[in-house]
Amino acid sequence: MSKTNRKKGLVIVNTGDGKGKTTAALGVVLRAWGRGFRICVIQFIKAETGQWGEVKAAKKLGIEWHATGNGFTWTSKDTDETTARALHGWEIAKEKIAGGDYDLIVLDEFTYPLQFGWIDPTQTIDWLKANKPAGLHLIITGRGALPALVEYADLVTEMKEVKHPYKEGIQAQAGIEF
């Protein structure tokens, strides 16, 4: 194993239209927590709420968690508000990333602000290249990861829907999907 391998902080992207993008990031959070990593999760679309299973868990585990969205999605009409919230989330993310106090940072649903241009993708990736500490693991989730993000990432997985219960009239289940 070469020296560079030892401290390589991976940039991981979970994308695609299937389930499991955020969930796989949470699995890494659990694994990393098991090893005593310092972890920060920043969510870009979801609104602050203590109702999600993962937020309840994070609170119990002492994991830092920021939900910076307002629950609005890409179908939102209030784009000013949505853009402002995305920029606010990115300001928090930059501070956490550059500060060097974490081993793992998750930018959940961060592909959307980039994809919809609320945050400039080129500037963002340039900033990450210049400022991400070498040992920091970074996970970015969301559909439609831009080619520049895939190019920048070390590990990219596409979650592909094969079969989905909503289509058979089964609702999302608490504790499983949220």
Interacting residue ranges for a second copy, rule: CB under 8 A: 1-2, 5, 8-10, 12-16, 18-20, 22-35, 37, 52-58, 60, 103-104, 137, 150, 153-165, 168-171, 173-178
Nearer to a second copy, 2 or 75 (CB): 2
Least Å from the CB of residue 82 to a second copy:
25
Nearer to a second copy, 52 or 116 (CB): 52
Nearer to a second copy, 57 or 83 (CB): 57
Token pair, residue 140, equals 């970015």
Least Å from the CB of residue 78 to a second copy:
28
DSSP-derived letter for residue 166 is G
Q: In whole angstroms, what is the distance from residue 64 CA to residue 103 CA?
A: 12
Nearer to a second copy, 80 or 168 (CB): 168
Angle formed at CA 62 by CA 159 and CA 60, multiple of 5 degrees: 85
Residue where the block lists tokens 């989330």: 89
3-state secondary structure of 40: strand
Q: In sequence order, which residues have a C-beta less than 8 Å from that of residue 82 and are 6 or more positions away? A: 69, 70, 72, 76, 118
Least Å from the CB of residue 75 to a second copy:
22
Least Å from the CB of residue 107 to a second copy:
15
Q: In whole angstroms, what is the distance from residue 140 CA to residue 75 CA?
A: 21
